[in-house]
Structure 1
Amino acid sequence: MLHRIFTALALAVVILTAGCMGGLLHPPVVPPAIVPIDGAPPMGALVYTFPFEGGEETIRIEPDPAAYTGAKAADRQLYLYEDLAREEWIPIYYLAFADDPHQEPFYTDLLAALRDIREREDLDGDRYIELIAVFVQSIPHKTDTLAIEPKFPIETYVDGEGDCDDKSLLLAALLAREGYGTALFYFGEEEHMAVGVKSVGCCYLNTSYAYIETTNISYVGIPPAALADGAYLSSEPLVIPVGDGDGFYTASGEVAVIERALTLSRDRVEELNEELVVRTRELEADGEALAALDARMTELSRAGYIREYNRLVSEYNRLISAYNRAAEAYNAMLGEAESTVNLHNYLAGHAHDRPGSYLRALDYLMG
């Protein structure tokens, strides 16, 4: 859920004295800004461990306490001295949080830690985007009902939690500083924010960006079917460019394979579940009929009606044979449903490992 944007339309005061006109001059917009507060105690190194591909990675840095304390105390209102359209002042407001210069040492340290992982794991550009995305996505998503305005990215890192706009600001700032074409997606109607990264495919709506959801670990290029509160993204977002670098995402083909496997496996499970319900009822009815026939034959045998008993034996054998065939088909269908559910859950639960998920998805589709 987006935090509120507080704006104030200020009046410029003009003073006339002795035939001369003097005044208080203001820029047209005064956005939020960090004023570092010296003397804040050290906070120690903050550690994040998160899943990535086949293992886990750890980030450990110590942000500047003066910058963090200043961010906490910052005035988060946007002061307007001109009547600007929303499409003009909303980008100014959010970019002030992402690009405040007092956060640059924080970004430098955090990106140094991420680059160490990139070099150790020999990540290409796509996997590096995914590393940064998964790191931010793994920060717990929490809406603070007392904090009605966005956080500066340094706050999100130190606090260890953030809302959709808090985490999106952090991710967009990091990707932009690593040279990727980056934007914020501002969904005013749905009160949601996400990130876009320049991509050669899997672009969101009519933009040139692949969608990245930040509220949970998810694939680059696959928007959520629904948000955490059940809402659907139906409006076109306001696109707020954050970085105009030449870097872009190129793994859209593999992402498309994963998305197709997710869709087909989900649809197949729904189809199988419906058929299994029908076949369960049929097997139960057939089982009851067999039990009734077996009871009837037992009565005939005990009563000495051998001829009638023998007449029913062939019918019983025919029914039991048909029942066994139906049960065998049911078990095969149940096995397919279970394996398809496992595949779908694996893909949904391993968005931190796009290369591995791609191989699983491809194997399923080629099946």
Structure 2
Amino acid sequence: MIRIQQMKILKKLLAAVLIFGMIISSAVSVGAMPTVYPSITSDPGDTSTQVVEIDFPFKGETVSAEIILGLAPYYGAKHEGSKSTPLFGCSPEKYYAAVAQDPAQDEMYAKLLGFFTWYAESHGLTGDEYVELLTTYVQNIPYKTVGAEVNFPIETVIEDQGDCDDKSILLAGLLARSGYAAGVVVLSEENHMTAAVKTKEGESGRSKNQISEYILIETTRFAYIGEDSALIRNRNKNRTRVREEGVILVGGGAAAYSASWQIDTILEERGQIVSAIEARWVRR
């Protein structure tokens, strides 16, 4: 009887060891699997093109152009599996950088930024005004929820529409390709995303010429760089400034935006005017 009981215990132990070994083996196999991030596979034989029209107001003028882009990367971005999300070991930085910086989009970035660089130089824009130019271009793209998946920038440009994450990733990609430290910020409580660019205070700022933090850029509507999104309005002051650890970077350039103190002054004065108007209406 004792022998039979011992045999039963031994079988249970062997079964437990076998199950444990299978679990360890599976874990090792998963760990050995490469982490696959979103990527575009273009058909080299596809020579189809589309004209992308640029038309938006900026500094009292209209910025307009027609840019011809190849559609092979666009169709590749639309292909099933191009936006695969890693199940394990997913790095948000690598994920969004893969979407924003996929090399299949090089032509798109080169042609867009080639035009915007020419426009900035021909109109004598400063570096800060160049950031504002790119920002206004993206803000002008119609807002539309296009699904749960994050779109590649080339999809947003070709389709001329996108939601908060699509437009923010496009702007971050444009800024990063222009040499700025830029990325996106996920506001999980509001289910919202904005772009962000590294900022330094200007001559009248608190820390002269010292790069300090990142400033949020709302992309779903026309707004000043650093102006509160409608979704996070009435929150804590300076919510539009975040430390680098709060930004998912898609590019690590050295350039920074230095006009944030001017925006602060504009917004502060505007707030005082609005408060005075509201107070006057209350008294009436």
Is TM > 0.5 for Structure 1 vs Structure 2?
yes
The correspondence for 2:226, drawn from 221, 224, 246, is 221
Relative distance call for 1:179 and 1:24 in structure 2 (3 A) is: closer
Relative to its length, the structure with more helix (as a share) is 1
Structure 1 residues 260 and 185: alpha-carbon distance in aligned structure 2, compared to 1, 3 A threshold: same
2:66 is the counterpart of 1:60: yes
CA contact (8 A) 1:181 1:245 kept: yes
Distance in 2 separating the partners of 1:78 and 1:59 = 35
Is this contact kept in 2: 1:35–1:74, CA < 8 A? no
Matching of residue 117 in structure 1 with residue 124 in structure 2: no
Q: Distance in 2 between matches of 1:212 and 1:74?
A: 31
**Could you tell me which residue of structure 2 aligns to residue 161 of structure 1?**
161
Cα distance in 1 for partners of 2:235, 2:273 equals 23
Name the residue aligned to 1:46: 52
Q: Does 1:212 align with 2:217?
A: yes
In structure 2, stretches of 5+ residues that fail to align are: 1-25, 207-211
For 1:160-199, list aligned pairs within 5 A. 160-199=160-199
TM-score, normalised relative to structure 2: 0.78
What percentage of residue pairs aligned between the two structures are identical? 36
Residues 59-85 of structure 1: per-residue CA shift (max 9 Å, x gap): 3212221111001114222123x4x3x
Q: What is the distance in 1 between the residues matched to 2:233 and 2:94?
A: 27
Q: Distance in 1 between matches of 2:95 and 2:281?
A: 49
SS at match of 2:255: coil
Cα offset, 1:238, TM superposition:
4.1
Cα–Cα, structure 1 residues 105 and 261, in superposed 2: closer, same or farther, change >3 Å?
A: same
RMSD of aligned residue pairs (Cα, Å): 2.6
SS of match in other structure, 1:47: strand
For 1:225-278, what per-residue CA distance to the aligned partner results, in whole angstroms no more than 9, with x for missing partners?
Answer: x22xx88767989420122211111112221221012101110110111122xx
The verdict on how the C-alpha distance between 1:242 and 1:24 changes in structure 2, with shifts beyond 3 A counting, is closer
CA distance in structure 1 between the partners assigned to 2:94 and 2:42 by the alignment: 21
Question: Can you list the C-alpha shifts for 1:184-229, whole angstroms capped at 9, x where unaligned?
Answer: 11112221111111112499xxx711110000111012222x22xx
Q: In structure 2, do the counterparts of structure 1 residues 36 and 12 end up closer, same or farther at CA, with 3 Å as the change threshold? A: farther
Give yes or no for contact 2:50–2:70 (8 Å, CA) kept in 1. no
Q: How many residues align?
A: 244
Aligned to 1:129: 131
Q: 2:251 aligns with which of 239, 243, 247?
A: 243
Alignment of 1:1-367 (within 5 A): 26-27=33-34, 29-40=35-46, 42-75=48-81, 76-80=83-87, 82=88, 84=89, 89-144=91-146, 147-201=147-201, 208-224=213-229, 226-227=230-231, 238-276=246-284
* Distance in 2 between residues matched to 1:249 and 1:104, nearest whole Å: 24
Task: Quickly say closer, same or farther: Cα 1:162–1:232, change in 2 above 3 A.
Answer: farther
Say if 1:104 and 1:255 are closer, same or farther in 2 by CA, change over 3 A: same
Q: Classify the secondary structure of the residue corresponding to 2:190.
A: coil
Report the CA distance shift for 1:126/1:231 in structure 2 as closer, same or farther (over 3 A). Answer: closer
Offset, 1:180: 0.9
2:217 maps to amino acid: I
Unaligned runs of 5+ in 1: 1-10, 15-22, 277-367
Where does residue 312 of structure 1 map in the other structure? Answer: none
Aligned to 1:357: none
How far, CA to CA, are the matches of 2:164 and 2:191 in structure 1?
9
Mapped contact 1:12–1:26 kept (Cα < 8 A): no
Name the SS of the counterpart of 1:30 in structure 2. Answer: coil
Larger Rg: 1
